[in-house]
Amino acid sequence: MSILEDARALAESGPVCDACLGRAFAERSFGLTNAERGKSLRIAAALDADEPYESVDTEDCWVCEGECARFDEWAERCAASIDDVEVETYQVGTRAPPLVEENEILLREGAGLPEDAGELFKSEFNREVGKRVGRLTDTEVDFTRPDVQFLLDIERDVVETQLNSAFVYGRYRKLERDIPQTEWPCRECDGSGYKGKEPCDYCGGSGYLYEHSVEGFVAPVVMDVMDGVEAKFHGAGREDVDALMLGTGRPFVVEIMEPRRRTIDVEQLEGDVNAMAEGAIEVEGLRLATYDMVERVKKLDASKQYRAAVEFDDDVTDEELQAALDELTGATIDQYTPNRVDHRRASLTRVRQVYDASGELEDARHATVEIHGEGGLYIKELVSGDEGRTEPSLAGLLDTGAVVTALDVIAVEGEDEPFEDDEFFKD
């Protein structure tokens, strides 16, 4: 059959609007809407048969039940739903009514066309409403990770609007000890602050084991500036609660859910966070980031540099210390899950590398050592040996007890590439 014969067969099934008629031939030609295709075919068929041209009101269409007349209305509803929200990119999806989907199949079957001829009703709806949304909101379509996603539920006559998260990258320094990276709910009251009807004695009714956290200093400020509803803190690993994070700082990403603002002054934000923290922590290098930066921060292989104050059980000479550190440099370390984290880490042996180890004695029982090692290397256990769970260790090589009395992280950097790659930033 010719295309005009196919068009006649479709039109004979009942009142079919131009859009539904043209949609069956969506793969033919370019630069036309389906409604333009349908009208053109209807005119051409009338001319070919020398018959009067008869148009069909979209509201009377038995296939879409008049929905193809509502593109403008749906677009206006989408735009209204983000009237006071800052977005740059969008995507439109459609949940088609089951009856319309069934009608599409019946239309093609009745005309002897394949069930998948042309395109689907929901595909046309996505495109036609999407084009109008872009014009109304001065935004661009993004089929990967848009700022906002609209779902048109035709049967329920509802626009579901989803604001996707925004992301801010930076590095933090933790300048005071006994501050965890993230909020630490009290294990006795599960973060409620109460045991029964009484305030929890363990946490003083706060619901947290520590009054402050890096997350608590940073995330609420970012959330307030971006006018979001919730914030999540993602760090490139974490240091012990009693350790400082110095040097160039540790990479992190703050994820803001449902932000109403996305264009922010990151330099001012940096100042606001640091003012709020009052010297407990500092952030720097804040930048608007992409969704993919979260995975990069959490999964990029990174090496760490540490400085540790060490106390020995017996007197140690400088020659003995240097020999032990030389032996650790370049060593492969087997670490069975440390006693101190055994309750929250899988019991297994981890193999890690020490890239460099150096240090100097302060007196016969005290030293400061610096360790550069592979990510995941437990430094306290590298020093103490952890009752034989870490081999080799500084304590084992010196044949005396050794313990870290103060630990500082002084660098967190990517093993093969830096965390800061322009591909993952939006500014």
Q: Is residue 336 a known part of a binding site?
A: no
Cβ–Cβ < 8 Å for 352, 373: yes
Phi, psi angle pair for 100, to nearest 5°: -65, -40
Q: Pseudo-torsion of CA 239, 241, 242, 244, nearest 10°? A: 40
121-137 vs 98-110: helix axis angle to the nearest 10? 120
In 82-241 the beta strands, taken as DSSP E runs, fall at 89-95, 140-141, 148-153, 158-163, 166-174, 194-195, 198-199, 230-235
Q: Count the helix, strand and coil residues of the chain and give each as a percent rounded to the nearest 5.
A: 35, 30, 40
Measured over the CA atoms of residue 275, residue 276, residue 280 and residue 286, the dihedral's sign is: negative
The encoded tokens of residue 295 equal 């995975």
Other CB atoms within 10 A of residue 297 CB: 22
Residue 375, classed as helix, strand or coil, is: coil
The catalytic position among 18, 147, 240, 408 is: 240
Q: How far apart are CA 125 and CA 400, in angstroms?
A: 75
Is 178 labeled as catalytic in the residue annotation?
no
* Angstrom distance (rounded) from CA 184 to CA 195: 17
Alpha-carbon distance of 216 to 277, in angstroms, equals 9
238-263 per-residue burial string, b: 16 or more CB within 10 A, e: under 16: ebbeebbbbbebbbbbbbbebbbebe
Angle formed by the axes of helices 34-49 and 3-11, nearest 10°: 100
Let me know how many helices (H) and strands (E) the chain has, helices first. Answer: 12, 16
Residue 378 assigned to a binding site = yes
Task: Tell me how far apart the alpha carbons of residues 286 and 170 are, in angstroms, rounded to a whole number.
Answer: 4
Residues 6+ apart with CB under 8 A from 115: 105, 108, 109
CA-closest candidate to residue 154, choices 81, 34, 56, 70: 70
Is the backbone of residue 386 left (phi > 0), alpha (psi -120 to 50) or beta?
left
Q: What is the DSSP string of 300-328?
A: S-EEEEEEEEEEESS---HHHHHHHHHHH
Mark the binding-site residues, compressed into ranges. Answer: 306, 378
Mark the binding-site residues for substrate, compressed into ranges. Answer: 306, 378
Catalytic residue numbers, as ranges:
240
